[in-house]
Amino acid sequence: MSLEMKATRDGFGEGLLELAKKRDDIVVLSADLTESTRAHWFKEKYPERFFSMGVSEQDMIGTAAGFALSGKVAFACSFGAFASGRAWDQIRVSVAYMNLDVKIVGTHGGISVGEDGPTHQAIEEVGLMRILPNMTVVVPCDAIEAKKATIKSAYRKGPVYLRLGRAKEPIVTKEEDFFEIGKANILREGSDLAIIANGHEVYEALVAADILLKEGVRARVINMHTVKPIDKEVILKAARDTGAIVTAEEHTVLGGLGSAVSEVVVKECPVPIEFIGVKDRFGESGAPAELFELFGLTARHIVEAAKVVLKRKTF
């Protein structure tokens, strides 16, 4: 596996530039975090289409809605904690309800934001966004995928939430890999169990699969980059083929990927599931690696969960 490292927010910044080259209906709004979100590359190149909104996330979302109502595709950028929760009612009423082309970009998602601590560690936003009608939620696993997701989101009708990270992540996909919003990618075949992951946890899942393979366990690794609309087909096939699932997300286990997968599985093919994620608690300050260990989000934790779920298998 390549160990090239790059942050998903960088992929977003590049994707935005590529989009802007092709389309003049793209506008970008930022709530005073322009460089941090990597919207500044767009700002430097297309200043007339960039709008500084100050630390006003609610107003930013509403303004983006006005742009979208005027026929633009508006990217609204902030940290995930603020882009989602702080402006949730604006996203609900001014964006999702009208099914507008507002693409909400939440960088610094998850606990990998590290030292800034719990106020800045967005671990609820996938759930917050997923429950809104019309909303699409994408959690890219690396910078390459984030760039593709950014570009594709502009061509998708309606609101999209892009969950991105600050930290440099291992690159696990390739430029030429197929990417479509709503279509999961199977990264590793296997029939003993399935590990369904997104964001940073895709990398951890791949490492976990390597460890498991050495012990004779073949794990299917699924990159479920789109949490909504979720790829039911891939989930159900995994449930039927393997009979056991581990979900892994850098997010609270309540309401995010694990919940979305469960909703599909319990209805059509109930199999045991173990959930890797933050266990209903707030984050805390620390180095990202320390936090992944503390919250149980490493490959080792996925391996342990896999062993538990294998014991629970019924077929």
Interface with other proteins (CB under 8 A), residue from 6, 18, 36, 59: 59
Using rule CB under 8 A, residue 33 touches other proteins: no
Strands 226-228 and 136-138, bridge-based pairing: antiparallel
Examine the residue annotation and report whether 145 is marked as an active-site residue of this protein.
Answer: no
Which tokens belong to 197?
């992951």
Do the Cβ atoms of 197 and 247 come closer than 8 Å?
yes
Using rule CB under 8 A, residue 34 touches other proteins: no
Residue 89 CB, shortest distance to other proteins, in Å, is 6
Which x/- pattern, by CB under 8 A, does the window 8-27 give for other proteins?
A: -------------------x
Using rule CB under 8 A, residue 131 touches other proteins: no
Alpha helices in the chain (DSSP H): 8-22, 40-45, 57-69, 80, 88-90, 125-130, 143-155, 201-214, 232-242, 257-268, 288-294, 299-312
Which tokens belong to 51?
């709008």
Q: Please identify which of the residues 57, 145, 169, 274 carries the catalytic annotation.
A: 57
Q: Which stretch binds other proteins (CB under 8 A): 61-69, 190-198, 233-241, 254-262?
A: 61-69
Using rule CB under 8 A, residue 132 touches other proteins: no
Which tokens belong to 6?
């790059």
Which tokens belong to 125?
């936003």
Which residues, listed in sequence order, are joined to residue 185 by a DSSP beta bridge?
Answer: 223
Question: Which class for 215: exposed (0-12), middle (13-18), buried (19 or more C-beta within 10 A)?
Answer: exposed
Residue 100 CB, shortest distance to other proteins, in Å, is 9
Region 76-105 residues binding other proteins, contact defined as CB under 8 A: 89-90, 92-94, 97-98
Interface with other proteins (CB under 8 A), residue from 19, 26, 28, 53: 53
Q: Which residues are catalytic?
A: 57
Q: Which residues bind other proteins (CB under 8 A)?
A: 27, 48-49, 51, 53-54, 56, 58-72, 74, 89-90, 92-94, 97-98
